[in-house]
Amino acid sequence: MDKLAISFIISGPDFAYIKEALRSLKATTQTPHRIYVVVNNGMAPNDPALLALLDDYPDLGYIINQDRMGFAANHNQVMVAADAEYVALLNDDIILHEGAMDKLVAYMDAHPDVGLTGSQQYNPDGTHQVAVYDDPSLFRMIYKISGFAKLTTEQSLTRRVLQRTGLANILGVESLKLQTQTHEVDIIKGVVMFVRRTTYEQAGMMDETTPIYGEEAEWHLRIRKAGWKVVFVAESKVTHFGQGQATLNLKGRILVEDRRSILNYFIKHRPRWQVWVIRAAIVTSHTFWGVVWFPFSRSRSQTHFQTVNVGLRWQRPTED
């Protein structure tokens, strides 16, 4: 069995990010490891871009999806294929700092009750990026669904005021705090998730019901319910180029799937009355925004009404 397996997902035709991620991994990691890349864009095995990558990394394991799959399904494939004590599920748009993976290995080796860890994350300009979250509360999810959560996005004035005045610590919301110390948390952002094999064998793989967003919250809750700890390791550091949810500028299918993922979480893990509150919030908020956007952008208005339909009608697929 290998000590460490690394999982990357490539979803677009541009290999620029993955090349930099692999270079940084090679330069900063002493722990013996095996790398797997999931090519999620239907690329042919003889595509010049893939062949060039294999020339540079001949030991690279790769999986090519002819049909696009979601974040969870892609990484799950690697967790099944890998024969390793630990599996690092990484975004391709990162640069690993010195010893980032080695420090997670060392921490997990020293703490056998920890099932999953994650790294400190930085923006390209060197500022801290949110890397941890609390479990989704009913109030915060309604706040997000309403659209007003843009007031406290990572680059917002409101967030900076809360952090500089110390109010962020008083509020007790993990994602508002400046994270500088290693500590146990509810959720690690999915940019870097370093998981123990015995943990996911016990708690199960990531839920593949929704293709994007929300996988971490649901998975990490199951991991903790199975008796494992989830820990943010501040000494392990990466630079993350993507913003994704950080700006909450969600449009089109991304918006629809984000709301579906919230509903999925509540259906699986919360009382039925909270599920109905979430449905009501989705219907009310997106009906409002659908009407507001109708005179200015029919496509954005249509997306909001598609999201309303999720709130009204969507049900989790029946599990065997």
String of DSSP letters for 38-56:
EE-S---TT-HHHHHHHHH
Confidence band of 213 (pLDDT split at 50, 70, 90): confident
Mean pLDDT of the chain: 91
Give the Cα separation of 212 and 174 in Å (integer).
22
Q: Say what the pLDDT of residue 243 is.
A: 67
pLDDT of 98 > 50? The answer is yes
Joined tokens for residue 37:
């890349």
Confidence band of 245 (pLDDT split at 50, 70, 90): low
pLDDT of 171 > 90? The answer is no
> Residue 320, class by beta-carbon neighbours within 10 Å (0-12 exposed, 13-18 middle, 19+ buried)?
exposed
Confidence band of 176 (pLDDT split at 50, 70, 90): confident
pLDDT of 144 > 80? The answer is yes
pLDDT of 13 > 90? The answer is no
pTM above 0.85, yes or no: yes
Among 63-77, 236-250, 271-285, the range with the most confident prediction by mean pLDDT is: 271-285
What average pLDDT score do residues 30-58 get?
A: 87
Confidence band of 43 (pLDDT split at 50, 70, 90): confident
Q: Say what the pLDDT of residue 162 is.
A: 74
What average pLDDT score do residues 43-59 get?
A: 84
CATH architecture of 2-130+178-246: Alpha-Beta Complex (3.90)
Confidence band of 45 (pLDDT split at 50, 70, 90): confident
pLDDT of 41 > 80? The answer is no
What average pLDDT score do residues 130-145 get?
A: 94
The domain ranges of the chain are: 2-130+178-246, 252-313
pLDDT of 70 > 60? The answer is yes
Q: Say what the pLDDT of residue 66 is.
A: 83
Confidence band of 317 (pLDDT split at 50, 70, 90): confident
pLDDT of 320 > 50? The answer is no
| Higher-scoring residue by pLDDT: 157, 258 | 258
Confidence band of 14 (pLDDT split at 50, 70, 90): confident
pLDDT of 289 > 90? The answer is yes
Give the Cα separation of 108 and 103 in Å (integer).
9
Lowest mean pLDDT among 80-94, 184-198, 231-245: 231-245
What average pLDDT score do residues 174-202 get?
A: 93
Q: How is residue 239 annotated by DSSP?
A: E
Q: Say what the pLDDT of residue 242 is.
A: 80
H runs (alpha helix) in the chain:
16-28, 48-56, 71-81, 100-110, 138-146, 157-165, 167-171, 197-203, 215-225, 252-269, 272-293, 298-313
